[in-house]
Amino acid sequence: MLNNFPLWPVQASTIARSVDALYIFLLIVTGMMTLLIFICLVYFAARFRYRPGVPAVQIDGSHALEITWSTIPFLIFMVIFAWGALVYFKERTPPADATEVYVVAKQWMWKIEHAEGQREINQLHVPVGRDVKMIMTSQDVIHSFYIPAFRIKQDVLPGRYTVEWFRATKPGTYHLFCAEYCGTQHSGMVGDIVVMEPAQYETWMNGGSTGPLSATGEKIFAELGCSTCHRTDIQGRGPNLHGVFGKPVQLEDGRTVTADENYLRECILDPGAKRLKGFQPIMPTFQGLVTEEQVNALVAYIKSIAAAKGEAAKASASAAAPPAQENAQTNALANGSQVQ
């Protein structure tokens, strides 16, 4: 029904229906409260109007009435709060296996790079039915990544990453806007989200790629000499980056933080801000020496070696499992023989 309403954008993501339901509920509640207030206003104006010769009568307060008009709005507000919190946390918690896309906002364009290496400007191709996580930053001022059909909007800030995710449900082309005034050509900072069938998306992905983003990051990592200090053995002067992403790390000042995308980014551009415990402040800053795209590539590379270490650990555990299982079966047979 809403898809045929000209003032209502199409619902093209999994979160859209939840956002619309909450919004419609808010419209109904506010509309009913407005109507109730006007009805009461008209009734009391007529009921207690001035009448010549009729003296006014003092009306005492009613505790029951006051409790009623305080309790009912409170319960309504709590429903709105709980409902809104559920929608918010669902929208702000991307699935762990979501496809990652890096977005760099710049006056006045969107520069997009897929983890597989494809690059786009003012256009994003995604498959229908797949979770997509956008890791976004700005090259200059504050922008806002807004897709009305998906009911998502996220500020894109300079100097840090913000994250947004969605799962498209309908193939098609949808509008992308910047929803934060960012300069004289703000209205022209638009783009398209192209949602494709999985087979068409795979065909599109197979053309024009320069290699995975993590491979580009590995190359930059070597060119900048990072591998000299960040080694996999104990001889390196910097911390071992294998397996560090997503894990808690202890800082020199005693704090413990999670090594997420923002932490890695800050360590690259301002390594002295959150120095790891046990390491000297010898790493130079790369602020102004690497572009936003290169920072994204370096972060993608560090994340990839962390994932590779995790997969290797799982493989080692799986390889060690059969002997243990075989020993258990042998012990069971031996116990059975003893019972017999």
Q: What confidence score (pLDDT) does residue 7 get?
A: 73
Smallest CA-to-CA distance from 135 within 90, 168, 188, 94 is with: 94
CA neighbor of 161 nearest in space, from 268, 12, 19, 84: 268
Taken in order of first residue, the domains within the chain and their CATH numbers are 2-49+65-92 (1.10.287), 99-205 (2.60.40.420), 213-310 (1.10.760.10)
Kindly give, in sequence order, each residue whose CB lies less than 8 Å from that of residue 124, ignoring residues fewer than 6 positions away: 101, 110, 112, 176, 191, 192, 193, 194
**β-bridge mates for residue 175, sequence order:** 192
> Is 163 a residue whose pLDDT tops 80?
yes
* Dihedral angle over CA of 240, 245, 250, 255, nearest 10: 150
**Cβ neighbours of 7 (radius 10 Å):** 5
Mean pLDDT, the chain, rounded, equals 86
Task: Give CA torsion, residues 59, 61, 65, 71, to 10 deg.
Answer: 150
Q: What is the pLDDT of residues 171-219, one digit of tens each?
A: 999 999 999 999 999 999 999 999 999 999 999 988 767 789 999 999 9
Task: Compute the distance between CA of residue 115 and CA of residue 176 in angstroms, rounded to an integer.
Answer: 20
Q: Contact 176/124 with Cβ under 8 angstroms? A: yes
As a whole number of angstroms, the distance between CA 237 and CA 250 comes to 17
Does the pLDDT at position 43 exceed 50?
A: yes
- Residues 147, 9: Cα–Cα separation, whole Å: 10
* Other residues' Cβ atoms within 10 Å of the Cβ of residue 321: 10
pLDDT in tens, 104-149: 999 999 999 999 989 999 999 999 999 999 999 999 999 999 999 9
Residue 67 DSSP symbol: H
Q: What is the mean pLDDT of residues 13-25?
A: 94
Asked if the model's pLDDT at residue 243 lies above 50, the reply is yes
* pLDDT at 313 exceeding the cut of 60: no
- Terminal CA-to-CA distance of the chain, rounded, Å? 72
Give the torsion sign (CA, 239, 245, 247, 249).
positive
For the four alpha carbons of 284, 287, 290 and 296, in that order, the dihedral sign comes to positive
